Chains A and B, each alone.
Chain A
Amino acid sequence: MTDATMGQVRPERRLSVNWVDLGPFLALAALMVVGFLINPDFLAINNLTNVVTRSAFVAIIAVGATFVIASGGLDLSVGSMAAFVAGVMILFMNALAPELGTSAIPLGMLVVVAAGALCGLANGAITTIGRIEPFIVTLGTMGIFRALITYMSDGGTIPIDRSLRDAYRPIYFGDVLGIPVPILVSLAVAGAGAFILYRTKFGRRCIAVGANEEVARYSGVSVARIRTLAFVIQGICVGLAAICYVPRLGTATPTTGVLWELQVITAVVIGGTALRGGRGHIWGTIAGAVILEFIANLMVLSDFVSEYLVAAVQGAIIIVAMLVQRLSK
């Protein structure tokens, strides 16, 4: 009751190691050691680059999912959405190709990002205006997007026009200074995501909405707007991932992006983001996406488990990750 302590508080020096934040990276390092022991080829530069490149789609989408989950939402529709917007992009590019030639490609990229943003806006608006659980809304749109790509492709494939194929190829297969383009894109997306989430008003409000919606509301934060914007960011990320994915196989099909929602949410969770919201770890999410692809690769390189069981292992990982979060509380 005296004022002995008044104004005596010094800023804390943050030299202590935060194990929770480091967790996914330590797991990644441990996995590399294990991988090397199982099959020395695992650490070959070629193999590592390939694996990380393959993880890029999930990583890019998972950056968006980090926003949605940190703000207290959940998006199950990302895989179907990726297939749908990829189909839209290819149809658009093919339609313009005869007239515009290869300049159809950048226009198509703009279209796919816009399409992703609109899909995200739909998810967000239905969730917030309709006051429906995001789980249910995105379960519904997951079915809708999947059906749309199946309808658009008539159950078959939507191939990219031959005249565009060579010009578009480098987006997946090319590299800059030896680093594959998809890896660069995912790093850029993560960098932008980290900037928005940690350094801007929107990011701060996103975390606040996820941590406690009521506190955010009573603080004058528009909860609906923040949540909707998080879904829009998710949609834009899906569009960017589709841009990188399409040149890989040159098509969009009804099976494009199947079970990506599992990989994306798993990557976010093992990256240290709490599923209940209020915390977001962008770089942890990236590590999580790479971990998943490493594990899949190890299953191929080793003979312990059939590679057909990859999704089963990923499913098990998310359950174990949730248990660890629960028990470490």
Chain B
Amino acid sequence: MSRAAALEPVAPLAAPAVLAVRGIGKTYGANTVLSEIDLHIRAGEIHAVIGENGAGKSTFMKILSGHVAPTTGTLALGGRPVAFSGPAEAEAAGIVLVHQEILLADDLTVAENLFLGRELTRRGMIDDASMRRLTRERLASLGSSVSPDAIVGTLSLADRQLVQIARALLESHQLVIFDEPTAVLTSEEVETLLALVRQLRDAGAAILYISHRLDEVEALADRVTVLRDGRMVGSFDGAELTQADMARLMVGRELSTLYPPKGAVAIGEPRLEVENARVPGFIEDVSFTVRSGEILGFGGMIGAGRTELFEGILALRPGRVGALLVDGRAVRIARPIDAIEAGIGYLTEDRKGKGLLLDEGMAPNLTLSALSRFNPGLVLDGKREEAALGETIARYDIRVRARGVKAGQLSGGNQQKLLLAKVMMTDPSVVVIDEPTRGIDIGNKSQIYAFVQELARAGKACIVISSEMQELIGICDRLLVIRNGRIAGELAGEAMTEDAVVMLATGAAGQAGTRGETQA
């Protein structure tokens, strides 16, 4: 299974495991998302599970935490077979999950959140004093000095995450599962979190750490299990695995083939010029130009305001622009439709929340932004819509069993292709693509990259916003990095390296942690 000659999967030891997973698999209809997973998670050990999006990590985690029942296989907790009918049972058995998203009530205090649904009482009345005292103790033991009386909505993301972890750990726990816990944190905050995870391990808990940040996994994991396409590539000793090994095992091929070759497209006249864009709370002052045939990337920390910059420019949120020129002509964008009519297409990062109508079929989604093109007289032309869908399916290689399926039933990759096709339906000359490959598998990723390059070749100006630095460096001709509401710097050609991007995004080494001020 492993292509790395020196890396042999470690055979499960006979030593007792907190959780033994044997032959676990999950099938939805004809679709197998996970099969034949075997692993042991031991006390006092950090066991990382890595894999590309769609490799089956989240399904696996949902099975362990009782959210999803496996189709095949067994779980044994402390040597006894268990089958959870829901997350509450898994929690009662000592398996706690720290969610990736922050699931707290913003209007309640830290203490109220910690004890939500399990409030302590004294003679039938809420015992605030004890809850606040316990909250203070728990947070202190996690190295935090956040007040129990602080309103959660006023805390930084890092503090909220800590509260969430404290809440999870309030239950007695044998196994703690972290699901991408650092996705929203700055590098300094990540260090604090990693220290916390180590502390939990040293206190004797078994830790399952799910991430696709390979640097963290390398720094943290005692054991690493790699998933690919729903199957186990193997379990490896963490100390022997380099990041390059992990990447190769996850992807199953060399990364260099993922991106189309650069420099194949001639860059022409400016297509979009933006001067002095300002978005209250996010962007102070940003100006840029993107040319025909060019792919311009926007990088920066999560929360730096990249998405908000374009939502502001395109009138999707309040914002102000000094001047905006499309193909040299001044354009005023007061409503979202103005942007579409000016020839600017925006592909949102929130595919499911803002991009597609999940309960509708593919055709109504495809044509929603461009209904006038399908409305020759008074009536929508269903045949023309179907024809457009047929072309889209062929051109963007959307894989579906039947045309009548709802958009919500498509895989992430197919949804993304449909969304791209929807944006292109308005025939824009400038295409802004926010997180082009979030949550989609590697095969679809390389297709999307090829589509983006095709757009550039067709003379369109492309803007790519992404949190994945590899991706930005892989497909962009030029990169702008946003920090503190301004452009911190521009990179092009050989100068586009991960280090350079990080330096600009964080304000150079030593001054890391510049995210907080831009949070709404």
Chain A contacts to B: CB under 8 angstroms = 1, 3, 5-7, 9-12, 14, 199-201, 204-205, 207-208, 211-212, 214-222, 278-279
Q: Which residues of B contact A3 (CB under 8 A)?
A: 397
Q: Which residues of A contact B360 (CB under 8 A)?
A: 207-208, 211, 278
- Which residue of chain A is the closest to B372 with respect to CB atoms? A201
How far, in Å, is B25 (CB) from chain A's closest CB? 22
Q: Which of B128-136, B297-305, B400-408 contacts A (4 or more CB under 8 A)?
A: B400-408
Do the beta carbons of B356 and A215 come within 8 Å of each other?
yes
Known contacts A218-B316, A222-B335, A278-B359; 19 further A-B pairs (Cβ under 8 A): A3-B397, A5-B399, A9-B390, A9-B400, A11-B403, A14-B404, A200-B378, A201-B380, A204-B380, A207-B364, A211-B360, A212-B354, A212-B357, A212-B358, A215-B353, A215-B355, A218-B336, A220-B336, A222-B337
Q: Which residues of B contact A208 (CB under 8 A)?
A: 357, 360, 364, 368
Interface: B375 (CB within 8 A): yes
Do the beta carbons of B346 and A218 come within 8 Å of each other?
yes
What CA separation (Å) do A205 and B336 show in the bound complex? 15
Task: Tell whether A201 pairs with B375 under 8 Å between CB atoms, given A5-B399, A215-B356.
Answer: yes
16 contacts between A and B (CB under 8 A): A3-B397, A7-B393, A10-B402, A199-B379, A200-B375, A201-B380, A204-B364, A204-B371, A207-B364, A208-B357, A211-B359, A212-B353, A217-B316, A218-B348, A220-B340, A222-B337
Do the beta carbons of A278 and B357 come within 8 Å of each other?
yes
What CA separation (Å) do A11 and B358 show in the bound complex? 19
Q: Which residues of B contact A6 (CB under 8 A)?
A: 394, 397
Q: Which residues of B contact A14 (CB under 8 A)?
A: 404
Q: Which residues of B contact A9 (CB under 8 A)?
A: 390, 393, 400-403
Majority SS at the chain A contact face: loop
Q: Which residues of B contact A205 (CB under 8 A)?
A: 368, 371
What CA separation (Å) do A216 and B369 show in the bound complex? 8
What CA separation (Å) do A212 and B357 show in the bound complex? 7
Q: Mark B123-164, 1 if CB is under 8 A from A, else 0.
A: 000000000000000000000000000000000000000000
How far, in Å, is A122 (CB) from chain B's closest CB? 23
Q: Which residues of B contact A221 (CB under 8 A)?
A: 337, 368
Q: Which residues of B contact A12 (CB under 8 A)?
A: 402-404
Q: Which residues of A contact B368 (CB under 8 A)?
A: 204-205, 208, 215-216, 219, 221
Interface: B386 (CB within 8 A): yes
What CA separation (Å) do A11 and B404 show in the bound complex? 7
Q: Contact check: which of B340, B354, B399, B443 meets A215 at CB < 8 Å?
A: B354
Do the beta carbons of A218 and B404 come within 8 Å of each other?
no
Q: Which residues of A contact B394 (CB under 8 A)?
A: 6-7
Q: Which residues of A contact B335 (CB under 8 A)?
A: 222
Q: Which residues of B contact A199 (CB under 8 A)?
A: 378-380
What CA separation (Å) do A218 and B310 show in the bound complex? 12
What CA separation (Å) do A5 and B16 show in the bound complex? 47
What CA separation (Å) do A201 and B400 show in the bound complex? 26
Q: Which residues of A contact B359 (CB under 8 A)?
A: 211, 278-279
Do the beta carbons of A217 and B364 come within 8 Å of each other?
no
What CA separation (Å) do A282 and B313 show in the bound complex? 39
Q: Which residues of A contact B350 (CB under 8 A)?
A: 214
**In chain B, residues 454-513, which have Cβ atoms closer than 8 Å to a Cβ of chain A?**
none
With a 10 A CB-CB cut-off, give which of A201, A211, A220 has the most chain B CB atoms: A220
What CA separation (Å) do A87 and B329 show in the bound complex? 55
How far, in Å, is A280 (CB) from chain B's closest CB? 13
Do the beta carbons of A200 and B364 come within 8 Å of each other?
no
Q: Contact check: which of A5, A201, A211 meets B357 at CB < 8 Å?
A: A211
Q: Contact check: which of B336, B354, B386 meets A11 at CB < 8 Å?
A: B386
Do the beta carbons of B369 and A219 come within 8 Å of each other?
yes
Do the beta carbons of B379 and A214 come within 8 Å of each other?
no
How far, in Å, is B230 (CB) from chain A's closest CB? 15
Q: Which 4 A-B pairs have the closest CB atoms?
A: A12-B404, A7-B394, A220-B337, A219-B369
What CA separation (Å) do A219 and B336 show in the bound complex? 8
Q: Which residues of A contact B426 (CB under 8 A)?
A: 220
Task: Tell whether A218 pairs with B443 under 8 Å between CB atoms, given A3-B397, A6-B397.
Answer: no
**In chain B, residues 380-419, which have Cβ atoms closer than 8 Å to a Cβ of chain A?**
380, 386, 390, 393-394, 397, 399-404
How far, in Å, is A41 (CB) from chain B's closest CB? 44
**In chain B, residues 307-338, which have Cβ atoms closer than 8 Å to a Cβ of chain A?**
316, 335-337
Q: Which residues of A contact B386 (CB under 8 A)?
A: 11
Q: Which residues of A contact B402 (CB under 8 A)?
A: 9-10, 12
What CA separation (Å) do A9 and B359 show in the bound complex? 20
What CA separation (Å) do A204 and B368 show in the bound complex? 8
What CA separation (Å) do A5 and B402 show in the bound complex? 12
Do the beta carbons of B355 and A218 come within 8 Å of each other?
yes
How far, in Å, is A191 (CB) from chain B's closest CB? 14
- Which residue of chain A is the closest to B447 with respect to CB atoms? A1
Task: Tell whether A220 pairs with B369 under 8 Å between CB atoms, given A1-B443, A11-B386, A204-B364.
Answer: yes
With a 10 A CB-CB cut-off, give which of A10, A11, A211, A219 has the most chain B CB atoms: A219
Do the beta carbons of B337 and A10 come within 8 Å of each other?
no
What CA separation (Å) do A212 and B443 show in the bound complex? 29
Do the beta carbons of B380 and A214 come within 8 Å of each other?
no
Q: Contact check: which of A201, A215, A278, A279 meets B371 at CB < 8 Å?
A: A201
- Which residue of chain A is the closest to B348 with respect to CB atoms? A218
What CA separation (Å) do A199 and B374 show in the bound complex? 11
How far, in Å, is B405 (CB) from chain A's closest CB? 8
Q: Which residues of B contact A200 (CB under 8 A)?
A: 375, 378-380
Q: Which residues of A contact B380 (CB under 8 A)?
A: 199-201, 204
How far, in Å, is B346 (CB) from chain A's closest CB? 7
How far, in Å, is B180 (CB) from chain A's closest CB? 24
What CA separation (Å) do A278 and B408 show in the bound complex? 14
How far, in Å, is A114 (CB) from chain B's closest CB? 23
Q: Which residues of B contact A216 (CB under 8 A)?
A: 368
Q: Which residues of B contact A222 (CB under 8 A)?
A: 335, 337
Q: Which residues of A contact B336 (CB under 8 A)?
A: 217-220
How far, in Å, is A71 (CB) from chain B's closest CB? 13
- Which residue of chain A is the closest to B362 with respect to CB atoms? A9
What CA separation (Å) do A288 and B214 show in the bound complex? 58
How far, in Å, is A321 (CB) from chain B's closest CB? 19
- Which residue of chain B is the closest to A6 with respect to CB atoms? B397
What CA separation (Å) do A20 and B339 show in the bound complex? 39
What CA separation (Å) do A221 and B426 show in the bound complex? 13
Q: Which residues of A contact B443 (CB under 8 A)?
A: 1
